[in-house]
Amino acid sequence: MKKIMVSFLVGGMISLSACHNQPGEKNLTEAKTPVTEAAPKFTAAMVDNQKDPSCGMPVAAGIEDTIHYKGKVLGFCSKECRDEFLKNPEKNIAAADLKK
C-alpha cells in the first residue's frame, strides 16, 4: 500500500510540474531579460532630514518609512526607528539634521 501511495504522490507531482508550462510559454529560467531590483520606495530627496533621528544613520543609505512632523517629512531606516522617534519626537528631532 505504501508503494502505491508513494508512486501516486510522485507521479502527481511530476504531472503537476509538467503541466505548469504551457506550449508557447517561456520558462522563467529561460528569460533573456535580467532581473532588476525594484526602485526604492523613498529617496533622500523626498525627505527633509539627512539622518535618521532615532539611530543617526544617513537617509541616503536607505529609507524604509516616513512620517510628517510639524510640516516636515522625516525618513527612517526602519519602522522600529520611526516608532522610537514617535515615543518622544521633541527630544529626537534635533538628531534629524534637517536640511536647510
pLDDT tens digits along 25-59: 555 555 566 666 666 688 999 999 999 999 999 99
pTM reported for the whole predicted model: 0.59
What the block records as the C-alpha cell of 48 is: 527633509
What is the spatial distance between Cα 73 and Cα 66, in angstroms, rounded to a whole number?
A: 7
Distance, in Å, from the CA atom of 49 to the CA atom of 86, rounded to the nearest integer, reads: 15
Residues 6 or more apart whose CB falls under 8 angstroms from that of 58 comprise 44, 50, 51, 52
User: CA torsion 6→12→17→14, rounded to 10°?
Assistant: 50
pLDDT digits 0-9 by tens, 69-89? 999 999 999 999 999 999 999
